[in-house]
Structure formats: structure tokens, C-alpha cells
A and B are shown apart, each in its own frame.
Chain A
Amino acid sequence: MLKYIFKRILILIPLIFLVSFIVFALMDNAPGDPVRTLVGENMTEEQIEQKREELGFNDPLLVRYGRYMKGVFKGDFGKSLYGNKDVLTEYLFRLPFTVNLALISIFFTLIISIPIGIIAAVKQNTWIDAIFSAGAIMGLSIPGFWLGLMLVLLFSVKLGWFPVYGADEGLKSYILPAITLGVANASLLTRMTRSSLLDTIRQDYLKTVRAKGLSERKTILNHAFRNALIPIATIAGSQFSGLLSGSIIVENVFSWPGIGTLTVTAIRNHDITLATGCAVLTTMFTAVTLLIVDILYAFIDPRIKAQYTGK
């Protein structure tokens, strides 16, 4: 198990190199001149050229990349071109907004989709199942950002229940963005729960359980569901890590002060250091989250644990 964790952590190193190189090379070819944006319009060409030399923008791509990576491994992601703020500090300041939102959203997702999925599976091929399944495919088909706009229109503008944007009103501000992010995930998870449970319901050992005289309710909850839980947990875990980067567009709808908005603003401002930093940090953070989720599975599923220790 330890060996496995160690291996997974080692993978992060080439990942950092790869993602930062891709982003670095892309942003290098991006339109706009970061130095010109930085110094303002009143400078002469010579002054701009001097500044460029000073910041090291005239070195070849690989030299600059090497310098950047040297900094990254010391924990220095450079300073943003706008406002001259430390990239890592700025990122870590915004991160909790995105993480909290993702946590609340996945919480909504789980408490809604698991019960519905179980009911749909137990009542398979009835009208209840049909309605839930239709709802799930609807939920999968709604563009998240559009749903967010519609929710704001109804609940914030018409009814005034929630703030229109931002994260200033505590838990109240989290509700609409969390639901917006959760609908597609909840729909997928409902379908997964249903099909995973249907799979286990057909297993032979459940016949034994029923034959023992256990009530149907107990059979489903204590035996079938616990075994159906593993694929459900797998999906939920990857959904959570997906939310960390996937909330970019929805964050924009709610003007949410998270890392998604930070990334998009950096890109729009041609702020190369900040944008590269955001991309590298988000990738690393997502990868670490997935790693933690994977380790947690080993605790739910003894079979996975046995696999690692057996190797």
C-alpha cells in the first residue's frame, strides 16, 4: 500500500513538468504583449525593450521555462504581472472558496442522488423509476452555466431569496452555485446508483440473504447497497476532483471569488505568470485530490487493499 502511494506521488513530478511546459509554451504564443500591458502606454519603445530585457522576456523559451521550473520547485510561482502579487499567495487565498463550494455541491449530490437511485432500482420498471430516470437524463442535458443563470433569475431576482452573485452572504451565497454544479453530477450518480444496485440485486448471495428470511428493506440497505457503494464512491470521488477545475464557467456566472474566476481573469488580462501558475497549481491540486480519493477506496473495499498488499 505504501509502495503504491509512493508511486502515485512520484508520478506528480513528471506531471508538473508536462503541464507547466504545455501551458508555458501555449501562453508564450498567446496574443498580446505582457510587457507592454505591464508598463502602460506612456513608455517609449526603448523603455519597453529595457523592461523586457530586465524581466528576462528576451531569453529563449527553454531558458525561461527552466528558470520558471527552478522557482516552482522552491515554491516560488512568480509574481502576477497585474498588481505584482505573489501567485501562490493569491491562489491559496482563492482556493478555499472553490473547495468549499465543491464540498457543499458534492454533499447535495450525494444526499439527493443515492436515495433516488436506490428507489429507482427497487421500483425498477414502474412509473416511479421512469420519472426518476427521465429526470436524471434531463439533468445530464442541462448546460450548468445556463441552469445557474435561470436559478439566479428565479430565486435571486424574482424571489430575492439568495444573493445574485459573490460569496459575501455566507452559506446563503453557496446554495445556488452548489446546486448549479451539482445537478449534472447528481443525475449521473443517480443513474450509477440505480444500475450498480440492479447489478448487485441479481447476485446469488442476495438470494441466500432473502432465503434467510431477512426483510426486503434490510436486504437492500444492509447487503445490496453496501456492495453497490464501491462504483458509486469511485464516481463521486472523481466528480469531486472534477469540480475543482470544472467550476470555471459556473464561477463566472456567479462572479464567484474562486480559482476558476482567478484563472479566467488572468487569461483575459494576458497575465502569463498568474495564468501559468493557476493551471499548474490546479492540475497538481486535482491530482493530489484524486490520489487521496483512491487511497480512501482501499478502506471501503477490502478487495482493492488486498490487491495492493498482495503485489
Chain B
Amino acid sequence: MKKNHKKAKNKSLIWRQFKKNKGAVIGLIVFCIIVVIAIVSVIVFDFDADITAVKAADRLLPPSKEHWFGTDNLGRDVFARVCYGAQYSLLIGVVSVIISVVFGSLVGAFAAFVGGWIETIIMRLIELLLMIPGILLVIMIVYTFGASIPNLMLALGLSTVPHFARNARASVLTVRNNEYIEASRALGASELSILFKHVLPNAISPILVQATSRISGCIISAAGYSFLGLGVPSPLPEWGAMLSDGRPFIYNYPYLEIFPGLAIMITVLAINQIGDGLRDALDPKLKR
């Protein structure tokens, strides 16, 4: 009962700190709007009729009242496609970061907790993996297993596992030596339950901050890989794939390239602002 009360107080404290950062609040609002757009467009637009159907008569129309963002070379409405595409970027960003956080934290926390030669081997391997440029790994993985959304998420997620593992280990190591851990050990708690009940929850805030900034990084990278043709395959209106589709027409129909790019930028900006706000709220030492 008392513990819950304290937790709630902590949460409201974090929220109060977060609210002080105007940029972060605006970012959160914009992010919520994007999520709503993503959900509503799935309901409103019909995938076959509105998103992928070719309408030869409407080819390359400039932005107008009927087509707010114009139409592309296959007569598809760019506004509908940009709205519909929001779900892909959000999904890829969030899921691939969840993959990195889960695997990375488990590996890092495990290494820190077992210690000894197992820790040494894991950390040496992680050091080596960190030296391989992530971009090369992602491209090779996606190419090998085929360009699709799940493969892209997996590749993006796996390529940053070492980063998260290293940070998770560092946070666990700092938390582990605290007195309350020793206290619960003295009370007879098993090592595993200490890890999940006490160490990880207390080590979570640096991981959370890292994860938020990683989501925006993943959204940008995913768009980049799709732009190269090594990400989300073309008829799907993912923003990077749309940029890739519109590229041959960039000189005469620049609006095909402007709107999907702006969509990426606004989304990433909103998430970056939230990330900054979270960092300030969770880590008072970093606050200026």
C-alpha cells in the first residue's frame, strides 16, 4: 500500500518535470495526432481502392482541392498514401526498438549478473559486434531474407542489440551494488528474482531514454533503407518507399518528394522532443 503510494508520487513527479518542457509537450501532442491519423486512415481508406489502385486518368496531378498533396505517377492520391503510411513508420520504429531493448537488456543484465568468464566472453563479443557498421549488417540481413517489414524490423532491432546490451550492463552494475539489493539478498530472495524485481526496474530510466532516441533513429533509417529498395517493398505507402517511387519525377513533380519527407521529419521531430523531455524528467542531473 505504502509502496504503491510512493510509486504514484514518483510518476507524478516525472510528469510534472516533463510538463515544464514546452517542446516536449508539443512533441507529445503532435505524436498523439500522428498516432490518431495512423489509426483513422486504416479505418477510412480502403487499401486496394484508395492506396494501391492505379488510376491512369489521374496521373501526376498537382496539389488541389480534391488531391491535397497531388497524385503520383500511377494516379494514387499522395495525401491518402502519406496518412496511411504513418502506421508503417511508427510500427517499424517501435517494434525494432522493442526487439533491441528486450534482447539487449536481457543479454547485458545477464552478463552483469553472472559475472566471471561468461561476462568476459559476452562483453568481448559485444565489443566486436559494436565495431561492425550497423548499416552494413541491416542491408545484408534485409537483402538475404528479402525486403519486407518484419525482416526490416528484425534487422534494425538486431543491429542495435549490442548497444543496448552494453548500456544495460553498465546500469545494472551501478544498481547492483546498492544496499537495498544486498538487503533483499539477505532476506533470501533468489538471484533471478532480484534481477527482475529490483535491479532491472531501477536500471530502466537510462535504457528508456536511449530507447526513445533510438525510435526516431530507426524511423529515419527504415525510410532510408526503403528508399534504397532494401526495406519496405514498393506498393506499400511507407514514406521512404514513396520517396523512392517518386524519385524519377522529382524535377517536374517535386511535391511527390516533399510531402513524404516532411511527414518523416515531423514524426521524428516529435519523438526527439519527447525524448529530450523524458531525459530531463528522468535524469535530474542532466537537466539544465
CA distance A263 to B143 in the complex (A): 12
CA distance A149 to B216 in the complex (A): 20
A138: chain B residues within 8 A (beta carbon): 269
Check if B128 is an interface residue, CB within 8 A of chain A.
Answer: yes
Please state if B288 and A283 are interface contacts (CB–CB under 8 Å): no
For B, the interface residue count at a CB cutoff of 8 angstroms equals 44
Contact of A137 among B223, B258, B273 (CB under 8 A): B273
CA distance A187 to B135 in the complex (A): 21
Q: Please indicate which of the listed interface residues B220, B264, B268, B286 has the most CB atoms of chain A within 10 Å of its own CB.
A: B220
Please state if A283 and B131 are interface contacts (CB–CB under 8 Å): yes
Interface residue SS majority, chain B: helix
Please state if A153 and B257 are interface contacts (CB–CB under 8 Å): yes
Query: Shortest beta-carbon distance, A140 to chain B, in Å?
Result: 6
Encode contact with B along A113-148: 1 for CB under 8 Å, 0 otherwise: 000000000001000000000100110111111100
Please state if B144 and A26 are interface contacts (CB–CB under 8 Å): yes
Please state if B288 and A264 are interface contacts (CB–CB under 8 Å): no
Check if A92 is an interface residue, CB within 8 A of chain B.
Answer: no
Check if A249 is an interface residue, CB within 8 A of chain B.
Answer: yes
Please state if B135 and A11 are interface contacts (CB–CB under 8 Å): no
Check if A19 is an interface residue, CB within 8 A of chain B.
Answer: yes
Please state if A249 and B268 are interface contacts (CB–CB under 8 Å): no
Q: Which residue of B lies closest to A241 (CB)?
A: B133
Q: Which residue of B lies closest to A290 (CB)?
A: B131
Please state if A245 and B272 are interface contacts (CB–CB under 8 Å): no
B269: chain A residues within 8 A (beta carbon): 137-138, 141
Please state if A145 and B131 are interface contacts (CB–CB under 8 Å): no
Identify the stretch in A27-35, A56-64, A100-108, A172-180 within 8 Å (CB) of chain B at 4 or more residues: A27-35
B127: chain A residues within 8 A (beta carbon): 11
Check if A246 is an interface residue, CB within 8 A of chain B.
Answer: yes
Check if A22 is an interface residue, CB within 8 A of chain B.
Answer: yes
Please state if A149 and B247 are interface contacts (CB–CB under 8 Å): yes
Q: Please indicate which of the listed interface residues A22, A29, A140 has the most CB atoms of chain B within 10 Å of its own CB.
A: A140
Please state if A267 and B128 are interface contacts (CB–CB under 8 Å): no
Q: Which residue of A lies closest to B137 (CB)?
A: A22
B146: chain A residues within 8 A (beta carbon): 31
- Interchain residue pairs with CB less than 8 A apart (5): A18-B128, A134-B23, A143-B220, A145-B243, A249-B135
